[in-house]
């Protein structure tokens, strides 16, 4: 008990931080944390209940990339054929192609993913992918509806019949399955599927939604993810999210199939153009070769010769080398001429045969580059316009390469012509040496030379045609499926565990933040702990909130406030033990500001002392704002009347309180115009000297010390000061006022009393750290009784 009012060791104005106090603050508000968690958990449950789950499907591919050695084994088997090395792929480019809108749009259209069937439920709808009992199909779509959202509702109406509604729930009619239905968008037909018999709802209600293919493709493009597995591999991973896992798997498989088909078509385009060119040239060379052979046959029949060269073999051995070179040069000139003619007449998108001209490696390399650029430009034209900056750049490169190829061919033709002239000159010189050979032999050799040239060119083209046919046969897809598309069994979003954990966190953090903010903004004294942190002044106790302010303590009062007053009275006795016997113990009650309950404390403190058998006088010395009349029914005459009148007897102004044997009150009296002057008069000293000999205790209700000096003027008459601090009312900054008065000893024997503290449950006591538990229940009953009494009075 002594620790509750004894002075502390230090006399400083403390402002520390207490972890225990903060923890108690949040524990006392546990119900807000529980409410926050319950609210957020409920919101999370509702969100999960009505949110459509998303499933993720993943597939793994191995793409060809010549930079990283990704060629197929089938292609390696024919790597000696130059024509197979013309088409090369780049991994980064192929990834962009996989994500292209054109490819995705083709996949969506081929799989019919723009049409969805939804089973409408009372709470949540279910998408019927491959489970729909019906199939809705447009036989003909009118102009202007290709890019519109089309919605219809199909409700079964018995055997082989259904009712059709539009998106506004307007009934369009009853039709038979398989019957053509004219609609404003076009002509449609509805079929029953094999899922009709196994469908759980009968009759069923299915909503059909047909969206534009481009819009669906855009949606899948946004959800599609393509990433490389590593920098040193050609493995890529494709993933997509969708409300239906099976549909996500089908989309990925369909996209891969469309991609492979597109790549094979691009590769075959080169081979098909080359094959067409070779076939055309073979027809021409075959006709020319047939003509030479017929001329040779006619020459031999006409001249009756069979083998002229055998007669001049000795002369021709030396000339054979020149003749071979001349034949080779003539062949090359023919090929160069053919290539120049083709280059001159080839269109903008035509590819140049790359394996015909083998005599010049530079020309072959330029032709390969030219064909690659043409293929790349044609592929990009599928996704972009002809005025695209990249396509324009490719056109410039193609035109430059075309000019370079022409220049190389011209230069090669010039070289061959020079060589041909040189060989012709050598042949002429040697012919002079064999001038004795008959003219017939020369003509026969000319015919034979022509025949050899045509035959060599014919065989060459036949070989290339076979190579092209082999290339067409072994063209392989660009992507090899490593792992087929598979969807996750559980949804990737929303994730229940994450949502509930987030709800738990928000449910706890939001009340914490609000309470923390309110605590930071609230600068009021909350209770005894706030005062003890700031002030090292004795504390008599703390009085909890009372709901019977108009009543005073009685012998049978057992509320928590009454128990607190009794404890404060007991503690006050220790503060007054130095007062000599024979004189009244004078107790002054004051506060910092008005409305802190000092009058309530003074009245009840006096009543509690009177109940202990002591003779008590309660004096109202707050003459500026008297409040005793709010608690006690008193006449208007009092202290001010005595101080302002010469011959008035003080005892005539004292009144006994009914139901109390020794409880007397001296009212404040009429509010004077000069309260400070009255309190400074000598009659105040006479008043206290006279009354102290008549009573055991004198309790004085004084003015607030922070506003006026009235209390300080009469403070010398007090044996002890009870300084009232009201919880949840007084600003913590104003605690410096009692601290200053205590340090300067202007208020004798000063002690604090905390008023209007909050009743807390769970401590074993009814209020603060004092009083018995039953006080709370009694106070609750008194609140109810007081409400009934007040209601009866008003009625």
Query: What strand order describes the sheet that includes 161-166?
Result: 126-127, 115-119, 205-210, 150-156, 161-166, 171-176
Flag the least confident range among 137-151, 258-272, 480-494, 678-692: 258-272
Query: How many alpha carbons lie under 13 Å from residue 597 in its C-beta half-sphere?
Result: 28
95-112 pLDDT, tens per residue? 888 888 999 999 998 888
Flag the least confident range among 246-250, 422-426, 537-541, 684-688: 422-426
What are the boundaries of each domain within the chain?
A: 10-51+494-521, 55-79+107-263, 267-482, 524-794
What is the average pLDDT across 359-384?
A: 78
Q: What percent of the chain has pLDDT over 90?
A: 18
Quickly tell me which residue has 């209020």 as its tokens: 767
Higher-confidence residue of 350 and 246: namely 246
- Residue 66 pLDDT level (bands cut at 50, 70, 90): low
- Residue 550 pLDDT level (bands cut at 50, 70, 90): low
123-146 pLDDT, tens per residue? 667 888 888 888 898 888 888 777
Does pLDDT of 619 surpass 90? Answer: yes
Does pLDDT of 155 surpass 90? Answer: no
Q: How far apart are CA 54 and CA 47, in angstroms?
A: 14
Does pLDDT of 765 surpass 70? Answer: no
Q: What pLDDT is recorded for position 606?
A: 92
Q: What pLDDT is recorded for position 358?
A: 65
Q: What pLDDT is recorded for position 459?
A: 85
Q: What pLDDT is recorded for position 760?
A: 53
Does pLDDT of 312 surpass 90? Answer: no
Q: Averaging pLDDT over each range in 323-327, 485-489, 709-713, which range is the top one?
A: 709-713
Nearest residue to 251 (alpha-carbon basis) of 292, 291, 223, 278? 223
Flag the least confident range among 438-442, 576-580, 643-647: 438-442
The SS3 of residue 62 is strand
Q: How far apart are CA 389 and CA 488, in angstroms?
A: 42
Q: What pLDDT is recorded for position 260?
A: 85
Cβ–Cβ < 8 Å for 711, 567 = no
612 class by beta-carbon count within 10 Å (0-12 exposed, 13-18 middle, 19+ buried): middle
- Sign of the Cα torsion 124, 125, 126, 132 reads positive
460-516 pLDDT, tens per residue? 888 887 777 776 666 666 777 888 888 888 888 888 888 889 999 998 899 989 988
Q: What pLDDT is recorded for position 719?
A: 92
Q: What pLDDT is recorded for position 770?
A: 36
Flag the least confident range among 23-37, 167-181, 461-475, 551-565: 461-475
Does pLDDT of 723 surpass 90? Answer: yes
The 10 Å Cβ neighbour count of residue 346 is 15
Q: What pLDDT is recorded for position 262?
A: 81
**Cβ neighbours of residue 584 closer than 8 Å, sequence gap 6 or more:** 617, 691, 692, 693, 694, 695, 696, 697, 698
The CATH code of domain 524-794 reads: 3.40.50.300
What is the average pLDDT across 189-196?
A: 83
451: left (phi over 0), alpha (psi -120 to 50) or beta: alpha
Q: What pLDDT is recorded for position 388?
A: 77
- Residue 794 pLDDT level (bands cut at 50, 70, 90): very low
Is the preceding omega at residue 791 within 30 degrees of 0, hence cis? no
Flag the least confident range among 1-5, 374-378, 534-538: 1-5
Does pLDDT of 761 surpass 80? Answer: no
Cα distances (angstroms) measured from residue 531 to each of 421, 534, 752: 122, 5, 9
What is the average pLDDT across 536-563?
A: 78
Cβ–Cβ < 8 Å for 242, 248 = yes
Average pLDDT score, the chain: 79
> 752: which 2 tokens?
């604090």
The 10 Å Cβ neighbour count of residue 711 is 26
Higher-confidence residue of 374 and 512: namely 512
- Residue 375 pLDDT level (bands cut at 50, 70, 90): confident
- Residue 700 pLDDT level (bands cut at 50, 70, 90): very high
Cβ–Cβ < 8 Å for 738, 730 = no
Q: How far apart are CA 604 and CA 627, in angstroms?
A: 13
Q: State the angle between helix axes of 19-28 and 496-521 in degrees (0 to 180), rounded to the nearest 10.
A: 120
Q: How far apart are CA 262 and CA 477, in angstroms?
A: 9
Residue-level length of the chain: 795
Q: How far apart are CA 272 and CA 349, in angstroms?
A: 13
230-233's contacts with Cβ under 8 Å and 24+ in sequence apart are 232/68, 233/68
Cα distances (angstroms) measured from residue 96 to each of 90, 215, 227, 289: 10, 19, 10, 50
| Beta-ladder partners of 154 | 164, 206
Q: What pLDDT is recorded for position 306?
A: 64
Q: How far apart are CA 712 and CA 708, in angstroms?
A: 9
Q: How far apart are CA 684 and CA 712, in angstroms?
A: 13
Query: How far is CA 450 from its chain centroid?
Result: 79
Nearest residue to 710 (alpha-carbon basis) of 620, 616, 575? 620
Q: What pLDDT is recorded for position 483?
A: 82
Cβ–Cβ < 8 Å for 755, 560 = no
Does pLDDT of 663 surpass 90? Answer: yes
Higher-confidence residue of 223 and 520: namely 223
- Sign of the Cα torsion 282, 284, 287, 293 reads negative
Q: What share of the chain is helix, strand, coil (3-state, %, to 5)?
A: 50, 15, 35
Q: Which helix (H) or strand (E) holds 306?
A: none
Higher-confidence residue of 131 and 349: namely 131
Q: Averaging pLDDT over each range in 278-292, 424-438, 723-737, which range is the top one?
A: 723-737
- Residue 551 pLDDT level (bands cut at 50, 70, 90): low
Q: What pLDDT is recorded for position 347?
A: 72
- Residue 698 pLDDT level (bands cut at 50, 70, 90): very high
Q: What pLDDT is recorded for position 121?
A: 67
């Amino acid at each position: 008990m002594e620790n509750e009012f004894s002075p502390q060791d230090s006399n400083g104005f403390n402002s520390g931080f207490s972890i225990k106090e903060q923890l108690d603050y949040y524990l006392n508000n546990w119900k807000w944390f529980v409410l926050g968690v319950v609210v957020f958990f409920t919101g999370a449950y509702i969100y999960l209940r009505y949110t459509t789950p998303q499933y993720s499907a993943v597939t793994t591919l191995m793409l060809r990339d010549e930079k990283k050695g990704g060629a197929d084994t089938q292609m390696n088997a024919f790597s000696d054929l130059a024509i197979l090395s013309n088409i090369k792929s780049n991994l980064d480019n192929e990834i962009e192609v996989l994500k292209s809108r054109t490819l995705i749009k083709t996949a969506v259209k081929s799989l019919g993913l723009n049409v969805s069937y939804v089973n409408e439920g009372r709470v949540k709808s279910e998408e019927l992918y491959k489970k729909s009992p019906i199939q809705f199909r447009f036989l003909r779509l009118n102009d202007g509806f290709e890019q519109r959202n089309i919605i219809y509702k199909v409700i079964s109406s018995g055997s082989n019949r259904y009712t059709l509604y539009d998106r506004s729930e307007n009934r369009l009619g009853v039709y038979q399955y398989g019957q053509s239905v004219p609609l404003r968008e076009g002509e449609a037909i509805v079929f029953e599927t094999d899922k009709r018999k196994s469908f759980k709802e009968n009759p069923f209600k299915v909503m059909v939604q047909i969206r534009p293919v481009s819009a669906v493709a855009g949606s899948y493009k946004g959800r599609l993810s393509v990433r490389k597995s590593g920098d040193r591999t050609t493995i890529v991973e494709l993933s997509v999210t969708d409300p239906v896992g099976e549909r996500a798997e089908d989309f990925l498989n369909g996209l891969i199939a469309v991609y492979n088909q597109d790549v094979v078509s691009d590769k075959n385009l080169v081979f098909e153009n080359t094959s067409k060119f070779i076939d055309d040239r073979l027809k021409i060379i075959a006709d020319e070769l047939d003509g030479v052979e017929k001329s040779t046959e006619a020459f031999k029949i006409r001249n009756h010769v069979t083998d002229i060269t055998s007669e001049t073999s000795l002369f021709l051995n030396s000339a054979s080398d020149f003749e071979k070179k001349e034949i080779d040069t003539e062949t090359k000139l023919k090929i160069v001429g053919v290539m120049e003619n083709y280059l001159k007449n080839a269109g903008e998108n035509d590819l140049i045969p790359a394996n015909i001209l083998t005599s010049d490696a530079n020309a072959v390399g330029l032709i390969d580059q030219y064909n690659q650029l043409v293929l790349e430009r044609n592929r990009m034209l599928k996704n972009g316009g002809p005025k695209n900056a990249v396509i324009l750049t490719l056109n410039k490169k193609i035109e430059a390469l075309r000019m370079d190829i022409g220049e190389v061919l011209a230069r090669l033709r010039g070289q061959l012509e020079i060589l041909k002239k040189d060989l012709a000159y050598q042949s002429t010189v040697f012919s002079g040496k064999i001038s004795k050979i008959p003219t017939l032999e020369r003509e026969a050799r000319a015919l034979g030379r022509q025949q050899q040239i045509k035959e060599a060119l014919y065989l060459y083209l036949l070989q290339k045609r076979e190579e092209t046919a082999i290339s067409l046969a072994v063209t392989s897809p660009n992507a090899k499926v490593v792992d087929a598309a598979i969807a996750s069994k559980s949804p990737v979003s929303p994730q229940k565990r994450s949502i509930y954990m987030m709800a738990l966190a928000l449910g706890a953090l939001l009340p914490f933040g609000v309470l923390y903010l309110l605590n930071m903004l609230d600068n009021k004294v909350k209770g005894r702990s706030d005062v003890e942190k700031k002030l090292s002044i004795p504390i008599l106790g703390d009085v909890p909130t009372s709901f019977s302010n108009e009543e005073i303590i009685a012998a049978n009062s057992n509320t928590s406030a009454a128990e607190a007053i009794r404890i404060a009275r007991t503690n006050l006795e220790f503060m007054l033990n130095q007062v000599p016997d024979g004189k009244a113990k004078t107790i002054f009650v004051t506060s910092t500001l008005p409305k802190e309950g000092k009058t309530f404390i003074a009245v009840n403190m006096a009543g509690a002392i009177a109940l202990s058998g002591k003779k008590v006088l309660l004096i109202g010395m707050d003459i500026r704002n008297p409040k005793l009349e709010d608690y006690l029914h008193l006449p208007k005459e009092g202290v001010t009347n005595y101080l302002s009148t010469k011959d008035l007897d003080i005892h005539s102004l004292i009144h006994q309180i009914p139901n109390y044997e020794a409880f007397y009150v001296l009212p404040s009296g009429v509010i004077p115009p000069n309260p400070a002057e009255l309190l400074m008069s000598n009659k105040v000293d006479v008043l206290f000297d006279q009354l102290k000999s008549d009573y055991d205790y004198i309790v004085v209700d004084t003015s607030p010390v922070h506003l006026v000096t009235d209390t300080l003027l009469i403070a010398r008459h007090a044996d002890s000061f009870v300084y009232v601090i009201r919880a949840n009312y007084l600003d913590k900054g104003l605690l410096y006022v009692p601290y200053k008065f205590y340090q300067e000893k202007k208020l004798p024997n000063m002690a604090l009393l905390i008023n209007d503290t909050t009743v807390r449950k769970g401590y074993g006591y009814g209020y603060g750290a004092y009083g018995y538990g039953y006080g709370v229940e009694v106070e609750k009953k008194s609140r109810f009784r007081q409400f009934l009494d007040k209601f009866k009075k008003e009625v």
